[in-house]
Structure 1
């Protein structure tokens, strides 16, 4: 096998390596995993906003409940004294009864505020529960995707190792200067630095070479390095 044929084998391995690397970087599961991660981030932002609102309502509810407990303590104290028999003066008894009535009205107002807070908090709690359920589902999907990606990457890496080893073996017989020239061309020509000449046509750019160029190639040796005058790739002839 000529040096140029060996170079074409290297090109074939490089093409497969490029395809495997592209496959590794563009797995459908990776695109979906990115979507899931974005959904999780958006969900967490929404949950944080709702959580802040729920916490504010909960604090307000707690303040009302603490105030309610304090008022109920005062009512019990006044009623205990009112019905203890210790107070007999009519005016003082009337004042205490008025105090109890006022405290009861205040208690009713506070109970209304507690109820309002509870009613305001209930849908927020439900929304947070829904967020948690959605997050659990997305996390489970992310785990499954990660596992699937890991398995595929492992398989692709094994194929890559095989191709790279074969590529290295094929490149042993190729002179360093020719291999360097091929690598430079490959980087400029979309991954293809060497192409076979078939029926006077470059298989890299699919253009037909001029008759004079084809005649010159025929007069040369199989290892003569010839570049396509259209795309600049090394022609294997």
Structure 2
């Protein structure tokens, strides 16, 4: 393949822009904020699950408290009615009086037991409420950190995209001045060799594979016409000669 030396030099400029675009893409994908947001989002999900559990417990204990208070009220009302019967003198039979007094005593004990249940349920409800309030604060704090990290990420991505847009336009213009066949070969090689399709021969060393050419290889490059597109014998990339090649 033949290409003017100036065109081969421009190919190196295209390669430099492609390398720049590659670095920008790598930076875009590996921003520290990506991992930070992922970690914070996982933390938020965990806190959110705990919050749902606390709120569920709070709701359950609220219903349990209402039921326990209703039970206390029912026993209290029955005890009040029995006490009124006892105080009214309507019950005159000694046996009935004894049964009534025994029932009043039993109801008093029952009421005490139920009131203890109400207190225990109230304590559990208050504990659930406290946990829910603390978890709401934790969740808000984590979500604030997520928002801040997303803002930093988005700002950096905007900068990267702006730089990438400029580099891509420069690449488009510059690539348009490179002969089509040469550019086609370069793109093919770039796809095969980790994004590097053309490399400078600098001080007898290929900057693509970083290997120094042996004397036979150097003589072949020296003897090649200036417009011939030469390839590195080691990595097969396009090898571009410059005044710094050391030939």
Do the structures match in fold with TM over 0.5? Answer: yes
Counterpart of 1:106 (choices 104, 107, 110) is 110
1:6-52 Cα distance to aligned partner (Å, 9 max, x none): 11111111111111111111112222111100111222233334444
Counterpart of 1:79 (choices 77, 83, 91) is 83
Bigger drift between 20-29 and 214-223 goes to: 214-223
Q: What secondary structure does 1:222 align onto?
A: coil
- Give 1:90 shift: 4.0
Matches within 5 A, 1:28-177: 28-83=32-87, 85=88, 87-91=90-94, 92-177=96-181
Please tell me whether the aligned partners of residues 24 and 153 of structure 1 are also in contact (alpha carbons under 8 angstroms). Answer: yes
Please tell me whether the aligned partners of residues 50 and 128 of structure 1 are also in contact (alpha carbons under 8 angstroms). Answer: yes
- Give 1:123 shift: 3.1
The separation in 1 between residues aligned to 2:14 and 2:193, in whole angstroms, is 15
RMSD: 2.1
Ranges of 4+ aligned residues in structure 1 off by more than 6 Å:
none
Matched residue count: 236
- Give 1:95 shift: 3.2
- Give 1:99 shift: 2.2
Q: What secondary structure does 1:117 align onto?
A: helix
Please tell me whether the aligned partners of residues 85 and 91 of structure 2 are also in contact (alpha carbons under 8 angstroms). Answer: no
Q: What secondary structure does 1:9 align onto?
A: helix
Q: What secondary structure does 1:190 align onto?
A: coil
Partner of 1:199: 203
